[in-house]
Amino acid sequence: MKKKIYVDYAATTYIKHEVLEEMLPYLKEEFANPSSIYGMARKAQKAISDAKLKTAVAINSLEDEIFFTSGGSEADNWAIKGIAFANRDKGNHIITTKIEHDAVLNTCEYLESQGFEITYLQVDKEGMVSLEELKKAINDKTILVSIMFANNEIGTIQPIKEIGKICRERGVLFHTDAVQAAGHIPVDVQVMNIDLLSMSAHKFYGPKGVGVLYIKKGTKIHNLIHGGSQQRAKRSGTENVAGIVGLGKAIELSIKKLNTEVDRLNNLRDKLIDQLLKIPDTKLNGPIGDERLPSNVNVSFKNVDGEALFITLDSMGIYASSGSACSAGAVEPSHVLTAIEVPEEMLKSSVRFSMGERTTEEEVEYLIKVLTEAVERIRNFS
Ligand SMILES: *Cc1c(COP(=O)(O)O)cnc(C)c1O
């Protein structure tokens, strides 16, 4: 039988069985609108507040600071635009980085068209932000700093606690896109001085189309959706009850396994990195050790045709991500790999492997074997 090795967990995950089981009643018999006034509705309401509590526990926030959204992109959009428009009287300057997810970058670009000024911080060759450059970039007009917790392509984990401290000291709000971090590595909004934080359920074994924006109590932010005043009028609309229940269960399960998964994946990651770097002319993108997400490996091969490589991986049942994305038919090299100055000729032969709970040692060994042979064969052929 053909192998199927899914190593694209950073793109999305399957829904865990226990998560789906917990969701199903709210798609079937417990379908009441949580805003209704009878007993059946109170069950849905209770389910939402349980999910809120589980999420708050996971990131060490208050329950009242958790707002459910349609996913990570919505949370990022809300955080940045909501803060920008609500604090315009204080200033029009926002600081972010060159390696953010498009949900942050394109939101900032939109704000530029609305008269805001954005500083896009450069990162070093491993994708790390400089605290000194951040300090220098903050001025009297700065209202928000938005820096991702962990990068989805190269796995770089930013010094979030230090960034939060700088922002707090300078009186600037701090948002972090923690979509790749929440449920995978420790996140603590209090210890890390985080004012706003984005999460997405489908990145930690929950359903697609549901996420969270944590908003620190007292933060001045515009309401996102005007309507029937759900979620304290900040984000109106009948709640996605089943999705929210799934998110709550998924984050609870992930937190329970977090420490053992971090250790297990760190070992698999380092084995994969060590063995892939034995292939001649191979470059690791992103840092090593504790500064890297346990699940992430990203490598580039010199003198390898990217297309041939991905055809081989696909034919061998390996589902990984490429370092370039097709947008409108054209192949665009990744802005993240470009920002960390991966040489031009290696951009298209870059592969991201992102591992997860079902990734085994055998799978990693198979990956190493297939890649080692494929790279040699493609190089000999061309
Ligand atoms: C997946 C992802 C998002 C978008 O989340 P959705 O729920 O798919 O909208 C945002 N930021 C990062 C870092 C991501 O990996």
pLDDT digits (tens, 9 = 90+) for 216-236: 999 999 999 999 999 999 999
Distance 140 CA to ligand 1 centre (A): 31
> d(Cα 181, Cα 163) in Å, to the nearest integer?
16
Atom of ligand 1 nearest to the CA of 71: 7
Q: Which of 39, 217, 278, 326 is catalytic?
A: 326
> d(Cα 79, Cα 28) in Å, to the nearest integer?
33
* Annotated binding-site residue numbers for pyridoxal 5'-phosphate: 72-73, 152, 180, 200-202, 238
Q: How is the chain split into domains, by residue range? A: 5-13+257-381, 17-256
Token readout for 20 is 């789906």
| Res 133: pLDDT | 98
Atom of ligand 1 nearest to the CA of 75: 9
Distance 180 CA to ligand 1 centre (A): 8
The residue ranges of DSSP E strands in the chain, in sequence order, are: 5-6, 66-69, 93-97, 117-121, 142-146, 173-177, 196-200, 211-215, 282-284, 296-301, 318-319, 321-322, 324-327, 330-333, 350-354
| Res 327: pLDDT | 54
Decide if 183 contacts 9 (C-beta within 8 A): no
- Is 326 catalytic? The answer is yes
Q: Which residues of the chain have pLDDT under 70?
A: 1, 324-330
Atom of ligand 1 nearest to the CA of 12: 1
> d(Cα 63, Cα 61) in Å, to the nearest integer?
6
Please tell me the residue having the least CA distance from ligand 1 atom 5: 72
Which one, of 253, 169, 175, 199, lies nearest residue 74 by Cα? 199
| Res 328: pLDDT | 57
| Res 332: pLDDT | 83
Which of 69, 99, 177 is the pocket-test mutation for ligand 1 (most atoms within 8 Å of CB)?
177
Which one, of 79, 48, 104, 69, lies nearest residue 215 by Cα? 79
Helix (H/G/I), strand (E/B), else coil: 198: strand
**DSSP secondary structure string for all residues of 123-169:** B-TTSPBPHHHHHHH--TTEEEEE--SB-TTT-BBP-HHHHHHHHHH
pLDDT tens profile 95-104: 999 999 999 9
Which residues line the pocket of ligand 1, CB cutoff 6 A? 71-73, 76, 101, 103, 148, 152, 177, 179-180, 200, 202-203, 211
| Res 263: pLDDT | 98
Please tell me the residue having the least CA distance from ligand 1 atom 10: 72
Burial label for 183, CB within 10 Å (0-12, 13-18, 19+), is buried
CA Rg value for the chain? 21
Same fold across 5-13+257-381 and 17-256: no
Distance 285 CA to ligand 1 centre (A): 20
| Res 326: pLDDT | 57
Distance 15 CA to ligand 1 centre (A): 16
Looking at domain 5-13+257-381, its CATH class is alpha beta
> d(Cα 183, Cα 201) in Å, to the nearest integer?
9
Atom of ligand 1 nearest to the CA of 208: 7
| Res 330: pLDDT | 65
* Annotated binding-site residue numbers for [2Fe-2S] cluster: 326
CATH fold group of domain 17-256: Aspartate Aminotransferase; domain 2 (3.40.640)
